[in-house]
Amino acid sequence: MRLSKYFLPVLKETPKEAEIVSHRLMLRAAMLKQEASGLYAWLPLGYRVLRKVQNIIEQEQDRAGAIELLMPTLQPADLWRESGRYDAYGKEMLRVTDRHERDMLYGPTNEEMITSIFRSNVKSYKDLPLNLYHIQWKFRDEIRPRFGTMRSREFLMKDAYSFDLDKEASVKSYHRMFVAYLRTYYRMGLTAIPMQAETGPIGGDLSHEFIVLADTGESGVFCDKALLDQPIPPKDVDFDGDLTSYVNDWTQMYAATEDMIDMDKFQADVPEERRIEARGIEVGQVFYFGTKYSEPMGATVADANGQDVPVHMGSYGIGLTRLVPAIIEASHDDDGIIWPVSVAPFELALINLKTGDESCVAQCDTLYKQLENAGIEVLYDDRDVGAGGKFATADLIGLPYQMIVGPRGLKNNEVEIKNRKTGERTNVSLEQAVDFLLERIVPERRQDV
């Protein structure tokens, strides 16, 4: 992409309304624009990141055996009357009436609708286990939307729903999502710790929140420091096999949110030097709630004896539009964002230091083609502006690598490559530049871990 033809209205000033660094940087880097309280437009640069996050989630959900579909944002109130949640949900639910005076709502989550899809189509235990998911916009009329898309009113969520014959099988489905989540966050460059959590309006008695530690996080959390070094289940993990040992690795050490903390147990289980009392961002939550929806809504299957029994269910959410600022909270410096390669809007900023110089332009154009042919995602700063402005923009928008091309280097047949994260600069010959980058970028995509 040539920057001269792109839409990247970066801001020089720091917007006053933004209280936390990720919100400030998302506005300054032209990723977002606020349209109303808790409602945001995703500008092209931000949308590229969101799409990368979505891709990783889809790959890991699919790998774990979940099947993608798409449900509407608006839902009929009658479905929610069946489960009893239409009244229980309160003011967070945005209620609307259509022209026929039918009560509708903008979905805050989809347990009811997925249960209705299940009950009209699945009748036998032989069709289980089943896990269906979608990635769709949700609306919760939060009393205090804040921190940009970290807590917004409209937000993009992945929600998966599992159906099983009994509790034992349902816990296996829970484990599959648990392992998929560990891999998902890792691939985005995050360490997300599963913590025992409250179930709130979703219900049930087994739940974990996945938490990224950050000072600006909204939840108080307590956990064992050793969790930060736990191994991530590998790409070839057998999702049809027994995943208990992976889950145990991550749950045997103490970790709980402030709603669930048992201080005596925390202090007894975790040696003092390993106790973390911190703040964190909830980037996902998984629930097992048994027959809470299937029973009132009549979602039953015939078991092996031909008896109709309500299915056991779980639901599994990831907040995509919260993940993007969470990654920034975890990875930035004074100059701007530092994207992990796997979610970066582009992998490389190609910077032409001298736009008036014919040989510089020709060389940059050639490099741009070579880099694109090699499959590297390049944002080519071909604008007619000074070097300082180009460096500032590249640092602000946080592309993981910069290739800096100027007349002085070209005299020696060289370009400079800067690693945004470490600040390391290396002079590389024109012939070797593409390979130099591929060697670094390809493993950092984390596609094969």
Q: List residues binding ligand 5CA (CB under 6 A).
A: 109, 111, 140, 142, 151-152, 155, 157, 159, 202, 282-285, 287, 315-317, 319, 321-322
Residues 316/160, Cβ–Cβ less than 8 Å: yes
Give every CB contact of residue 411 below 8 A, 6+ residues apart in sequence. Answer: none
Q: Which residue, 149 or 393, has its beta carbon nearer to ligand 5CA?
A: 149
- Beta-carbon contacts of residue 126 (< 8 Å; ≥ 6 apart): none
Nearer to ligand 5CA, 311 or 353 (CB): 311
C-beta of 161 vs 401, nearer to ligand 5CA: 161
Q: What is d(CA 194, CA 255) in angstroms, rounded to the nearest whole number?
A: 7
The whole-angstrom separation of Cα 250 and Cα 226 is 10
CB 374 within 8 A of CB 347: no
Q: Which is nearer to ligand 5CA, 283 or 328 (CB)?
A: 283
Q: How many residues does the chain have?
A: 449
Cα–Cα–Cα angle for 250, 254, 260, rounded to 5 degrees: 115
**Residue 133 Cβ vs ligand 5CA, minimum distance, rounded to whole Å:** 8
Closest CB to ligand 5CA among residues 22, 285: 285
The nearer residue to ligand 5CA, 217 or 319, going by C-beta atoms, is 319
C-alpha 148/C-alpha 146 separation (Å) is: 6
* CA angle, residues 128, 134, 136, in degrees to nearest 5: 155
The side-by-side arrangement of strands in the sheet containing 348-352 is 378-381, 348-352, 401-405, 414-419, 425-429
The residues that bridge with 193 in the sheet, in sequence order, are: 211
> To the nearest whole angstrom, how small is the minimum distance from the Cβ of residue 447 to ligand 5CA?
24
